[in-house]
Amino acid sequence: MDMQSTAQSQLEMARNVNDIGGLNNLREAIAKGDGKVLQEAAQQFEAIFVQMMLKSMRKAQDALADKDSPFNSEQVKFYRDMHDQQLAVDLSSNGGMGLADLIVKQLGQQDPNYRPASTVRADGNLPSLNRPVEQQRHMAQETVLESASKGTLSAYKDAMFDSPEAFVEAIYPYAQKAADTLGTDAKAIIAQAAVETGWGRYVIHDGEGNSTNNLFGIKADSRWQGEQAVVDTIEFDQGVPERRKAAFRQYPSLESGINDYVNFVQSQGRYQQAMASKDDTQQYFQALQQAGYATDPQYAEKVMAVYRSETVQGYQP
C-alpha cells in the first residue's frame, strides 16, 4: 500500500468517533504533510459542533420525558449518546451543514475570490436561529407547570387568582409596603411575583390544598425553620431547562410571604449589588439574576417585560 493510500486509511479511521486511535491517526497524517488533513480536521470540528447541538436538544427533550419510562433509563441514554456522536461524525463527513467547507476556504486560502469572515459585516439573523431553542425552553417550562397535579405530588401548583388583574389588585397593598421598605417600585415587585407564579396561576399548594403564599420562588434551605412544600420545578443548566424536585418555603399569608421576600434580599450578602441598584428597576433585576436569584438566563428580561406591560403599569390603586 502506497503512502497516499495509507494516509487516506488513517483519515477514514479518524472518522469513527468510538475509535480511540482516530485522533492519533489524524496527527500522524498532519506530520506527514498530507494535503487532505485540513479538510478532515474541519470535518472533525463540524462533527463536534453538530454533536453539541444534538446534546442540547436531547437535554431539552429529557426535561419532558417520563422518568419512569424504561426508554428513559441511563443505559438507553448511554447508547443513545454514542449513536448521536457517531451520527454527528457521519453527517459532517457526508457534507453536513457546509461548516467544514467554510473552514477550509477560510484557512486554506485556495480560492482567490473568497472573502475572509473578518471583512464581512455580521448582520446574521441570530434571533431566528435561536428561536427553536427558545421554543424548547418554553415548552419544557409550560409542561412542568401544567403537569403538576394533586394526584401525583405531595405538593402541587394551582391557581390562586382568576386573572392577572385580580392578581395585581390583591397583592398591591403588600407590595407597596415591601417597596417602601426596600426603596423600590411596588409594581416591580408585582412584576417579579407575576413571572414566578404565571400571574398567580401556578402558586405552590401543599398536600392538603393550602396555598404556600410563596410568590417569589424562595426555596427552603437550611436557614428556614418554618413549613415547606416539595414540588417539581424548572431549573436551567447552561441555558437548558431541567425538571427537578425542590423544597419551597410556606407562609401563613400573602403578606408574610412578601415580607419574607424583603428580608431575603436584604439579608443575603450576594444581593447587595441589587440593593445598591434599587432605584433603577432594570439594574435591580439584572443584579438579582447575576447574583443567582434565578437560573433562567432570561429572568431579568422576562420580569422587565411584565413590568412594562399594560396590566402592571395601567393599574391604579
Catalytic positions: 235, 260
Q: Which three cell numbers stand for residue 158?
A: 394551582
Which neighbouring-strand residues pair with 235?
Answer: 242
Decide if 173 contacts 179 (C-beta within 8 A).
no
Contacts of 178 (CB under 8 A, 6+ apart): 186, 189, 258, 259, 261, 262
Decide if 241 contacts 63 (C-beta within 8 A).
yes
Contacts of 112 (CB under 8 A, 6+ apart): none
The span from the CA of 8 to the CA of 19, in Å, is 16
Query: At residue 189, what is the residue type?
Result: I
Q: Which three cell numbers stand for residue 84?
A: 448521536
Q: Which three cell numbers stand for residue 171?
A: 397583592
The span from the CA of 196 to the CA of 66, in Å, is 24
Q: How many Cβ atoms from other residues are within 10 Å of residue 244's Cβ?
A: 12
Decide if 14 contacts 28 (C-beta within 8 A).
no
Residue with cell 475509535: 19
Q: Which three cell numbers stand for residue 267?
A: 439579608
